[in-house]
Chains A and B, each alone.
Chain A
Amino acid sequence: MTSATPPVADVDRVANALREPQAWRSASPLEWSRLFGQARSAGLLARVAWVIANAGNRTTSPADPDLTPEALASAGPWPDATRGHVASAWRLALAQRIEVRRELRHIAHALAPLAGVGAPVVLLKGAAYVAANLAPARCGRLFGDIDVLVPRDALDRAELNLQLHGWESQETSDYNQRYYRQWMHELPPMAHRQRGTALDLHHALLPPTSRLKSPPAPLFAQARPLAAAPGLMALHVLAPEDMLLHSMAHLFAGDDMRHALRDLSDMDLLLRDEQSRDRDFVGRLVERGLELGLGRPLAYGLLGASRVLATPIPQQALERVRRLAPRSLLGNGMNWLWQHALRTRHPSVDRPGTALALQLLYLRGHWLRMPLPMLVRHLSIKALKLHETGPATEP
């Protein structure tokens, strides 16, 4: 292939575009095809479109977060053939943001009684980004379910109030119901009867049986009320450090790497945004991570973001978290796993070993989540499908 423009060295075009958006000003049509195909698979087409259109201007907030689809499609270095997809991706991201906001008003209304007993209702991840209008939500993000965190002793009351307002549990098998309620940090997924919107109600960041111990109390202590958001006043979001630490704990102790690159990109935007306001942010993040017992996920997160997305992180902090990551053989093994996981899931990106790495991470996620005898029992029941009494979702 002879081309005037240098070929993109990284087969993961999405990571490449998020890292070096300027380079795409002169990309060939074939490269654009690959980028758009991969970005769609990664759930990052709107994000990639925003980043490329705003190349060189990423640490500052966008001038107009409610940019219209047509405006974004005419703002970047897009070849004509791609403009429709840019407008399409941005329109979908805008629509989902509006939908999440509307859903959050319903949730705030349903859970308002919890404020009466002094129990904070905290939004996590995507919902928090939208409610607090943070960088990941402003810069094109797609949404799945809404994650809500309440203190353990308010869990029953929260579930009851959600049920009264139309949310119902989606889990029909007794085994899965018990599995979630006894062992997990969240209730079985709920969905609203009429609107169909999905909601996960959490009482901790990690399962109580997890090898990674991080009690939720300090998170509630630092949570911030959404005072400025109309209709959402009863809701809270985590402090920025805790938001990142939760996101990292979720990804790097998790078993599902389908959206790994999207989650890493959210972390990248949060880190860039917070550092543009406070240059010591990463220092405080590291302190807080150690305080909460989340040193390893923090190390994987900062090292991963720096390597894959060139997130600016002070050298000193990188040195410090490098010491928190495992050493020698285990360290090398984990590096290998993350190198496969923190990429777009697409056949043109997968390499030999990717499928194996994802399998190992699946097992690792379960291993971290519960003691071995329990893990063996749980995976056997799932493998033999003994729990299937009806349509059920995978826990």
Chain B
Amino acid sequence: MLPTLSSLDPQMLRARLAAPVDDPERGLVIRTGPFVTRIRSRLPEVAEALSVLYGDYPLATPDGFVDFNVGVRRPWWRRGQRAQVRFDFEGQEPFNPLPGAQAVPLLEWGLNWCVSALCHDTLNLHAAVLERNGQALILPAPSGSGKSTLCAALAFSGWRLLSDELTLIDPRDGQVRPLPRPISLKNASIAAIRSFAPQAVVGSNVADTIKGTVAHLRPPASAVQRAAERACPAWIVLPRYVANGGLRWQAMEKTDGLMHLVENAFNYDVFGASGFDLLARVVSGCRCLRFEYGGDLHAAVQAFDDLLADRVEAQAGMQS
């Protein structure tokens, strides 16, 4: 097994990250799911966040193939209130700079962008995805729907995290290719997850981002270790957080399920007609539901255990 990032002491980690931009053979090279990324940054908070959030990720050999070369820097000539952080991809800056304290969210968003904007060998959905018994639960939803909170709660309750943001569907077999990465928690859900799963490791809060206060959650080690095991889509569940609301399951037409996948696909246009066929095939093999939940994450998790059991019963009923 390859050594993990946690095998580097803080000094070594910082030294690797500090490699100059024009030196393509250095930098911190880690594997996340199917991708190898070389990260460079001299910012202490980036080193800190990597050691907190990415400790279980394998280090890749620096002379192997690297999928993405990224960097995060804070130009020295902008100080104080005017400080900025910039994301560098192969010498270009695909995003506008962010305020100086937002280096860690910028890196996370940048790593998501590398996949969602550049990788069209899979059909990529903006959706959380988890696995149990080889079956994938896809949670497509816009920001603010409570998708990440629910995903984090399930990831610490027996479900294996495949991804919090990017569901990668392989067009050859319709299976989900895992890309486990830290889960992005926003605002009230940071405290909710801390109390739901006290064993969870959460990085520093970063305030005043466009999504409010953001903190990232270290994914369970087993999810990172099993990143090569794919899963077959079985459920499409559209979650919706309703403050002080109760639990509610609602059936959803498969055509609605299909439309939600299409709406949340990053590269549906790139796949064209074959993208429609692929998603139609995925949906036809899935049970499609809407799910409303309130503040009680334990009850929500229980509901998904019921979903799993329901399905088993339904199948047994059909066979008899």
| Residues of A participating in the B interface, judged by any CB pair closer than 8 Å | 1, 28-30, 32-34, 37-38, 40-41, 69-70, 73, 79, 81-85, 87-89, 91-92, 95, 98-99, 345-348
Contacts and interface: CB of A to CB of B under 8 A. Distances in A.
A29 B91 contact: no
B264 to A, nearest CB: 19
| Interface residue range, chain B | 20 to 34
Contacts of B9: none
Contacts of A41: 90-92
Contact of B272 (A30, A34, A89, A95): A95
Contact of A92 (B65, B90, B122, B270): B270
A145 to B, nearest CB: 17
10 contacts: A1-B25, A33-B24, A73-B121, A81-B65, A84-B34, A85-B67, A85-B121, A95-B270, A346-B91, A347-B91
B172 A70 contact: yes
Contact of B65 (A70, A82, A99, A347): A82
A33 B61 CA distance: 13
Contacts of A30: 24-25, 63-65
Contacts of A28: 63
A274 to B, nearest CB: 31
Looking at B64, B66, B121, B270, the one whose CB has the most chain A CB atoms below 10 A away is B121
Contacts of B120: 69, 87-89, 91-92
B93 to A, nearest CB: 12
B87 to A, nearest CB: 15
B25 A69 contact: no
A273 B55 CA distance: 53
9 nearest A-B pairs in the assembled complex, by CB-CB distance: A347-B91, A81-B65, A88-B120, A84-B121, A87-B121, A29-B65, A33-B66, A88-B121, A95-B270
A348 B22 contact: yes
B62 to A, nearest CB: 8
Grouping DSSP codes into helix (H, G, I), strand (E, B) and loop, the B interface class, with mixed when no group exceeds half, is: loop
Contact of A29 (B63, B69, B119, B270): B63
B24 A69 contact: no
B90 A37 contact: yes
Nearest to B36: A81
Contacts of A33: 24, 64-66, 69
Interface of B: 21-22, 24-25, 34, 36, 63-67, 69, 90-92, 118-122, 172, 269-272
A89 B267 CA distance: 12
Contact of B64 (A40, A81, A88): A81
A147 to B, nearest CB: 22
Contacts of A348: 22, 24, 91
Contacts of A32: 65
Given A40-B90, A81-B36, A95 B269 contact: yes
Contact of B90 (A91, A95, A346): A346
Given A91-B120, A95-B272, A79 B65 contact: yes
Nearest to A89: B120
A99 B271 CA distance: 11
B287 to A, nearest CB: 30
A69 B269 CA distance: 15
A40 B118 contact: yes
A87 B22 CA distance: 28
B21 A347 contact: yes
Contacts of A29: 63-65
A88 B168 CA distance: 13
Nearest to A31: B65
A376 B274 CA distance: 53
Contacts of B272: 95, 98
Contacts of A37: 24, 66, 69, 90
Nearest to B63: A30
A85 B35 CA distance: 11
B119 A84 contact: yes
Looking at B66, B119, B172, B271, the one whose CB has the most chain A CB atoms below 10 A away is B66
Contacts of A69: 120-121
Contact of B119 (A38, A79, A88, A346): A88
B22 A347 contact: yes
B295 to A, nearest CB: 41
Contacts of A70: 172
Nearest to B91: A347
Given A1-B25, A347-B21, 8 more contacts: A33-B24, A79-B65, A84-B119, A85-B121, A92-B270, A95-B272, A345-B91, A348-B24
A34 B64 CA distance: 11
A151 B69 CA distance: 47
B63 A91 contact: no
Contacts of B270: 91-92, 95
Contacts of A82: 65
